[in-house]
């Protein structure tokens, strides 16, 4: 197979940005697109008008609606479909993926039905013997800035250090710095929990609670993130890095964040049904909240912000009441 033949599965904003990044580096990239409208925009105009307007794809990008074309004879395949679609799409893709192909998961989320991480889900699909060829990409990135070649840094975690380094070499560019990590669990959990905390930060800002409140939410959100990740077997230091604190700060503070935007809308009095009906795609944090809430209860992990976000999104609780309940919890040590 060609040394720099890459398949990107998922033509949302993130998949399109990674396609542009790698094509600009000289790789031959095949981008799989599910939606007919986006597919025709990409083919006819070389632009993803729905998800990444203003970014033109170079000639060395092939756009396809065939999973066989996107997955066959590739050095590297990147998963960039939403978490709820990963099992369906990759179960269909798996039979055409070569044993030596590297697989990088850039999707942040848990499977709703099983609460599995994307790593556990891919293990189900490809089998335990294939996991040594898998990596997991996470960090503080907005797709549009990556596509515009603005500086960004991310982490790729893998079960095998040599695989992590190989993926690092393929993905790194002068504007996209990739670090490696052995902590597959920590890198994944950071990318899940930050989405829920970002909704909370949006609610806080939307209610006009001030900068102190947002800083407290981010910090206590990091504590919840770390608590869950460590319970699942992660290294606490991972969550102090790019896939944890870095991603949490970005997603909770900038209006480019879809999850933060959901929080702002809730603070304005919009219902979840109204918010989701008006959007082409649902922010991952909306689904993540339900999955995280169930996972935390199953594993006996105290996650009060996640609990309150679950009650606001799915229990009809008023945002102001959720804030009051968080502030009036029993007093304790910060490190408890």
User: What residues are labeled active site?
Assistant: 194
Q: How far is CA 166 from the centre of its chain?
A: 21
CB 187 within 8 A of CB 136: yes
| Of 221, 232, 250, nearest in space to 308 by CA | 221
As a whole number of angstroms, the distance between CA 95 and CA 125 comes to: 10
Helices 319-327 and 304-314: crossing angle in degrees, nearest 10, is: 160
- CA–CA separation, 62 vs 42, rounded Å? 9
Question: What contacts 232, CB < 8 A, 6 or more positions away?
Answer: 185, 189, 299
Backbone conformation region of residue 209, classed left if phi is above 0, alpha if psi is from -120 to 50, else beta: alpha
How far is 29 from 61, CA to CA, in rounded Å? Answer: 5
Distance, in Å, from the CA atom of 18 to the CA atom of 34, rounded to the nearest integer, reads: 17
- The conformation of residue 2, written as its DSSP 8-state character, comes to -
* Distance, first Cα to last Cα, the chain: 52
- Residue 184 pairs in a beta bridge with none
Measuring CA to CA, which residue among 240, 206, 211, 213 is closest to residue 319? 206
Contact between 86 and 107 under an 8 Å Cβ cutoff? The reply is yes
- Report helix, strand or coil for 111: coil
Q: What is the C-alpha to C-alpha distance for residues 170 and 27, in angstroms, rounded to an integer? A: 9
d(CA 117, CA 277) in angstroms, rounded, equals 27
């Amino acid at each position: 197979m060609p040394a720099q033949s890459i398949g990107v599965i998922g033509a949302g904003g993130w998949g399109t940005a990674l396609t542009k990044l790698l094509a600009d580096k000289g790789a031959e990239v095949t981008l799989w697109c599910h939606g007919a409208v986006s597919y025709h925009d990409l083919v006819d105009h070389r632009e993803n008008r729905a998800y990444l307007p203003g970014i033109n794809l170079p000639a060395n990008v092939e756009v396809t609606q065939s999973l066989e074309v996107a997955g066959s004879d590739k050095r590297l395949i990147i998963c960039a479909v939403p978490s709820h679609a990963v099992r369906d799409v990759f179960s269909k893709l798996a039979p055409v993926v070569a044993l030596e192909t590297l697989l990088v998961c850039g999707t942040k989320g848990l499977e709703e039905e099983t609460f599995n991480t994307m790593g556990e889900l891919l293990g189900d699909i490809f089998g335990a013997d294939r996991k040594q060829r898998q990596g997991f990409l996470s960090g503080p990135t907005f797709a549009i800035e990556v596509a515009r070649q603005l500086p960004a840094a991310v982490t790729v975690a893998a079960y095998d250090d040599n695989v992590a380094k190989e993926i690092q070499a393929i993905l790194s560019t002068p504007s996209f710095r990739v670090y490696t990590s052995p902590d597959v669990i920590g890198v994944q959990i950071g990318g899940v929990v930050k989405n829920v905390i970002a909704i909370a930060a949006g609610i806080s800002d939307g209610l006009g609670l001030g900068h102190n409140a947002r800083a407290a939410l981010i910090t206590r959100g990091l504590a919840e993130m770390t608590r869950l990740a460590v319970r699942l077997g992660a290294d606490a230091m991972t969550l102090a890095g790019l896939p944890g604190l870095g991603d949490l700060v970005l997603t909770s503070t900038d209006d480019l964040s879809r999850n933060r935007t959901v929080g702002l809308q809730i603070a304005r009095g919009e219902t979840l049904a109204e918010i989701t009906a008006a959007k082409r795609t649902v922010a991952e944090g909306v689904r993540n909240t339900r999955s995280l809430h169930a996972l935390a209860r199953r594993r006996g992990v105290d996650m009060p912000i996640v609990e309150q976000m679950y009650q606001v999104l799915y229990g009809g609780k008023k945002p102001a009441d959720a804030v009051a309940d968080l502030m009036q919890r029993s007093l304790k040590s910060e490190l408890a």
